Amino acid sequence: MSETQNSIFASYEKDSKFYDEIFDEKGNVKKVYQTLFDLYSGHSSQDFAKLNEKAKASFFNQGITFQVYNDKEAKEKIFPFDLFPRIIGQKEWDVIERGVLQRSKALNHFIWDIYHDKKIIKQGIVPLDLISSSENYLHQMIGIDPPGGIYNHVSGTDLIKHSDGKYYVLEDNIRCPSGVSYVVCNRTALKRALFGVFNHYNAHSVTDYAQNLLEMMESVKPRGVDEPNCVVITPGVYNSAYYEHSYLAKAMGVELVEGRDLFVENDFVYMQTIRGPQRVDVIYRRVDDQFLDPLEFKPESMLGVPGLFSAYKNGNVCLVNAPGTGVADDKAVYTYMPQIIKYYLGEEPILNNVQTYHCSRPDDMKFVLENIDKLVIKPVDEAGGYGISIGNTLTKDEIQKVKKTIMASPRKYIAQPIMSLSVHATYIEESESFESRHVDLRTYCLLGANKDFVLKGGLTRVALKKGNLIVNSSQGGGSKDTWVLKS
Amino acid sequence: MLARVANNLFWMGRYIERAEHLARYLNVNYFSSLDAPNEKSQSRELVLHSLLFMANGPVPKDYELTEQNVFFDIGLNKDVPYSIINCVKYARENANGARDLISTELYESLNKFYHFVLNYDADFFVKKGLYDFSTQVAESTAVLRGKIRGTLLHDEVYAIIMLGVNIERATQVVRIIQSKYYDALKSQGSYGDKFSKSYEWVTLLKCIESYDMMRRYYKKTPTSISTLEFLILNRDCPRSVMNSLVQVNNHINLISRDKHPEHNSAAFLIGKTHAEYCYKTVDKIEEDVELFIEEIQDTLIEIAKKIENEYFKY
């Protein structure tokens, strides 16, 4: 190592318990990162401090921010962006891409089945209570055939790399997976901040996502429509993901609507324009199921459109994603993914599942209660990293509390071995140097009628707190630009 | 375009324009009063009263008319609806609602402007920062105008923003004329100043950034009559009421596309007002300036209401 490398990487601790994305076991830089490493060596720690400030200012000025609510007021924060990109080679990516698409397709079959014949339950592959006890199973969806037969048009599968160097799927998000706008922004910011770095690598572009999203939406247009009018619906400017909603609408060149812009007449959906009503055919909805239509779901919802579900049921509008997909991104369904893939596609799963214990099963429950210190306990239906207990960080009292909560509602909890998320070099402001931090990877997959697409890239999320395994932005996580190489 | 979003764009334009006029009036009126040739024009009370009147209409009797109070309220007070900080905040909120339709460049400039105003030190502002703050606000609005003109498609989105900008411009210019008209009335008397040759007309022109061009056009010291003619009826003065009406007329035609608009429509009222102004003379206006001001203010409110009813209903 040269001296410059020493100064920037002086605080980088190598820990053999985790898979290191940058360094091999002997402490040498991996081949794919070598060029990047050499280039970075030309910069001093002051250079990086400056670049870091610039990148932050660029995000802030563009208003690429999210709101954090504390006791008194909403604060505008940028999603921390890291200057060291993650690089994924072509072969490695190929497996991820095929695996993600396989899961997405299998889940689509699964959702169709559980809202129609329920064969998979009748044949005893998955238990009935997986669905009957799920809050996200919508009886309103039973028997409905969505345009193109597609339910989970947009999926975000989260992957990690364990200490064995293999990818594992943590979860499949098929309600409203977010974050894709950051993938594009991170790329732009990195290209600007680190002038002359990107062109040394032959990485896939990520800007084609919006085009593919629009093509996918057009592919699931209702019957009898030639040129569908596609829109994005948002809960509004105060939603934490509003930037993303406006970005997607702008990038696709379609209208960004709110519930109050739309109305339903004779089971057709219209939006109010300056020239009167205009029909809407495909809606990429970033509003949760329960808020979509006050006539059908939560009656007090102000975000939705009265009559929207009826228009959907009659096939006059397509909702992306379909209502009721939440039943399949339940963490309990996750544990049956290998069986689900085999049942519908007749294939072996390409990506690994993490070993999961269901607290609803007596044997598993017993094991969980005896081994809490070695497990991660997760509620099956929470998002955003909330409600998670990591066994080896708990005190004795806390363990007792967790045990009580599990015993009170076993169906609500699953447990998994503590997975060792791989580590990556991450710029840390306090030390003005690169340190090792845990990362995961969110992928984005689109499924349409005769159309599928996996974004070549993704959101590498990084836990900025030392030793922390939770990467969600609401819990202090940041993100990295992710390069998928062409060769 | 969505009706709701059109409403957002219209008000974004209005608030940007309003912030600019407030800042310029604060700046020019205050500083030019410092060395005014006449005692009454120099009077702090007259100036502070004038500033507050322009920002918010008649001044409440119990208002404590100190420099720091007036500056803070007009500049950075988040609790009064007319402050510059609230104008910029509302402009940005409206831009947020239309973010997918405007350019990244325009949004970024407005966002930077917002954070500049939001983070401006209030204590520094009321004690020392008046010139710095108001100058920077005026500059930022000029940048925004450039971004609106130079980075947006000149289609309906642009037309709606420009409708807002020009209706607000006419409204603010009339408001400034009204304020300075009262100042000119009040400052009469000392040193034999006559109303028609009052120093306040120079200040008025400077408040609307039209002094130099007025001199060029008339080649004479401004009087009440030449000033009013220039600011109300001169088609080529970019800040005149006439110029705003020409633009409002052009932009409503882009949106309505109706060659023979209905009698109670916005396009009809705008066309009619525009036509009336084509044949107005300053003598008529000077006969009763207050009546003129009242009439044009009512008309502008009526135009905005009609636009809202016809295009922004959702």
Residue of B nearest to A261 (CA): B314
pLDDT in tens, A5-42: 456 777 788 888 899 999 998 888 999 999 888 888 78
The structural domain count of chain B equals 1
Smallest Cβ–Cβ distance between B314 and the set A242, A255, A260 belongs to A260
**Cα A228 to Cα B90: distance, rounded to the nearest angstrom:** 34
Smallest Cβ–Cβ distance between B3 and the set A60, A246, A272 belongs to A272
- Closest by CA position to B13, among listed B240, B231, B210, B167: B167
pLDDT at A115 over 60: yes
In a domain, A376, yes or no: yes
Cβ-based contacts of A61 with chain B (< 8 Å): 108, 111-112, 115
β-pair partners for A268: A265
pLDDT in tens, A181-213: 999 999 988 888 877 788 889 999 999 999 999
State whether B2 and A261 contact (CB < 8 Å).
yes
Domain containing residue B86 = 3-311
The 8-class DSSP code of residue A28 comes to P
pLDDT in tens, A438-473: 999 999 999 999 999 999 999 999 998 888 877 877
In a domain, A78, yes or no: no
Q: Which residues 226-245 on chain A approach chain B with CB closer than 8 angstroms?
A: 232, 237, 242-243
Cβ-based contacts of B314 with chain A (< 8 Å): 260-261, 272
State whether A273 and B156 contact (CB < 8 Å).
no
In a domain, A318, yes or no: no
Q: Which two tokens stand for residue A480?
A: 């990295």
State whether A256 and B100 contact (CB < 8 Å).
yes
- Where is average pLDDT lowest: A350-359, A450-459, B15-24? A350-359
Q: How confident is the model at residue A1 (pLDDT cuts 50, 70, 90)?
A: very low
In a domain, A403, yes or no: yes
- Closest by CA position to A37, among listed A72, A66, A1, A13: A1
pLDDT at B79 over 70: yes
Q: What percent of chain A has pLDDT over 70?
A: 96
State whether B312 and A242 contact (CB < 8 Å).
no
State whether A274 and B6 contact (CB < 8 Å).
yes
Residue of higher predicted confidence among A346 and B43 = A346
Q: What percent of chain A has pLDDT over 90?
A: 59
User: What pLDDT does B190 receive?
Assistant: 58
CATH code where residue A401 lies: 3.30.1490.270
The structural domain count of chain A equals 1
User: What pLDDT does A199 receive?
Assistant: 84
State whether B4 and A272 contact (CB < 8 Å).
yes
User: What pLDDT does B192 receive?
Assistant: 56
- Determine which of A66, A270, A274, A302 to mutate to test the interface with B (most B C-beta atoms within 10 Å): A274
Cβ-based contacts of A249 with chain B (< 8 Å): 100
- Whole-model pTM: value is 0.88
**Cα B115 to Cα A66: distance, rounded to the nearest angstrom:** 15
State whether A256 and B99 contact (CB < 8 Å).
yes
pLDDT in tens, B240-272: 999 999 999 999 999 997 888 899 999 999 999
In a domain, A383, yes or no: yes
User: What pLDDT does B167 receive?
Assistant: 98
User: What pLDDT does A4 receive?
Assistant: 44
Q: What is the mean pLDDT of chain B?
A: 94
State whether B108 and A255 contact (CB < 8 Å).
no
Model ipTM value = 0.84
CB distance A428 to A83 below 8 Å: no
- Determine which of B1, B2, B90 to mutate to test the interface with A (most A C-beta atoms within 10 Å): B2
Cβ-based contacts of A247 with chain B (< 8 Å): 100
Q: Does A61 touch chain B (CB under 8 A)?
A: yes
Domain containing residue A388 = 356-417
Q: State the DSSP H helix or E strand holding residue A41, giving kind and residue range, or none if neither.
A: helix A31-41
Residue of A nearest to B310 (CA): A274
For chains A and B, CB pairs below 8 A equal 62
pLDDT at B176 over 70: yes
pLDDT in tens, B23-54: 999 999 999 888 887 777 788 889 999 999 99
pLDDT at A475 over 80: no
Smallest Cβ–Cβ distance between A61 and the set B6, B101, B112 belongs to B112
In a domain, A25, yes or no: no
pLDDT at A374 over 90: no
Residue of B nearest to A248 (CA): B100
